[in-house]
Amino acid sequence: MQTAADRVEPVVAGFSSYQKWVIGLLAFLQFTIILDFMILSPLGAILMPGLGISPAQFGLVVAAYAFSAGVSGFAAAGFADRFDRKRLLLIFYGGFVAGTLMCGVAHTYGFLLLARTVTGVFAGIVGSTVSAITTDLFAYQVRGRVLGIVQTAFAASNVVGVPLALALSNRWGWNAPFLLIVAVGALVGVAAMRYLRPIDAHLQQHPDRSPVHHFLHTVSTPWYLQGFAATALLATGGFMLMPYSSAFLVHNLGIEFGRLPLVYTITGVCSIVAGPLIGRASDALGKFSVFSFGCAATIAMVLIYTNLGVTPIGLVILVNCLLFVGVFSRMIPASALISAIPAPADRGAYMSISSSVQQVSGGFAAIMGGLIVSESATGALEHFDIVGYVLVGTTLVTLAMMYFISRRIEQAAKSNPASS
């Protein structure tokens, strides 16, 4: 019987046409998931006054998505390695599209909170399944290249999604961007249903044990716990900083709301160019080396960014571009390193739990950000620099944690070259 491993053989020298198509599909899946989350940040400047909610309530909307994604990931961990990953992906992606449709028709704070909760339930499992598929189908030696492309979905959402969403929200209200995501998501889902091949090689390696036992095994393995801890801290800073960035740009830096699309577009183009280059550098120069550079760049730019006052738009764009280069230089090699932690039979469970840990820690971070940041009488955000200092602290801790994870992966590769 032909398995997924036979159908999509990992290669180092280059990718087959089907592998390239899979990478593109995964990137589009990530694009819709990331855009759905990111769109709240630029919409915050009109959503908060539109619904009459405070920064703390807005932080709760962000956190509701994160917490529900976290809970669903934990719940699905015991079953994640017991099904064809394609089937699992399609079921939960359909739920994600339905939840996003609820956001598109929401007109009250309470219903929006419910809609974000429903969307998060499904989105968390989609993200972890995409990670498991990437790890299943592509060798560790080229995973930086693959992730460099897949994670440009983050940048593409800035270049294409966010400016278009802002234009739609200016014309038809803040609900319109969610309806755009529903339309794009439906097309991507149909393409995955028709052309993605079954991904089931892991089923032959999985021992016959109960979902509860599998979950307990995954959460009690010391080596896995190191990866979960690093993932939690990696998410903290971004969830505290990004949800309030549009309000900070408008009310603190003096950028007109109508010019926000220009800021996001240029920053996104820079990230799209940088992402694949960072991925290739991770494979060629060493994933931890590139991660270390990313930490240094992120710390420097966060300290500058969060302490800015009214600033010319050209300088704001430059700072944003350099900040996102730092973020990508952390995110891509860190994802590649962490993907090497779980055994093949545990990948689905590990990725589900890792996604849950990321979302839950991010939810707490969003709430903390809302409690730290406050609005002045003019609408400017106060204490935003404190959020930057917290991000610097978590970045330094994750640098130390990833150093030990990287060392262990290298030692395992030397002792058992076939495993890599």
Domain spans, the chain: 15-419
Tell me what pLDDT residue 110 has: 85
- Which range, of 49-63, 180-194, 244-258, 274-288, averages the lowest pLDDT? 49-63
- Which range, of 115-119, 266-270, 304-308, 359-363, averages the lowest pLDDT? 359-363
Instruction: Please state the separation of Cα 352 from the chain's center in Å.
Output: 13
pLDDT top residue among 403 and 383: 403
Kindly tell me if the per-residue pLDDT of 153 is higher than 80: no
To 10 degrees, the CA torsion angle through 210, 211, 215, 221?
30
The CATH code for residues 15-419 is 1.20.1250.20
Question: What element of type H or E holds 19?
Answer: helix 17-38
Kindly tell me if the per-residue pLDDT of 416 is higher than 80: no
Which residues, listed in sequence order, are joined to residue 381 by a DSSP beta bridge? 375
CB atoms under 10 Å from CB of 266, counted, come to 19
- For the chain, how big is the Rg over CA atoms in Å? 20
Tell me what pLDDT residue 1 has: 37
Question: What element of type H or E holds 348?
Answer: helix 347-372
Kindly tell me if the per-residue pLDDT of 418 is higher than 70: no
Which band of pLDDT confidence, cut at 50, 70 and 90, is reported for residue 146? confident
Q: At what angle do helices 222-241 and 313-339 cross, to 10 degrees?
A: 170
CA distance 135 to 53: 41
Tell me what pLDDT residue 303 has: 93
Highest mean pLDDT among 89-103, 130-144, 147-161, 262-276: 89-103
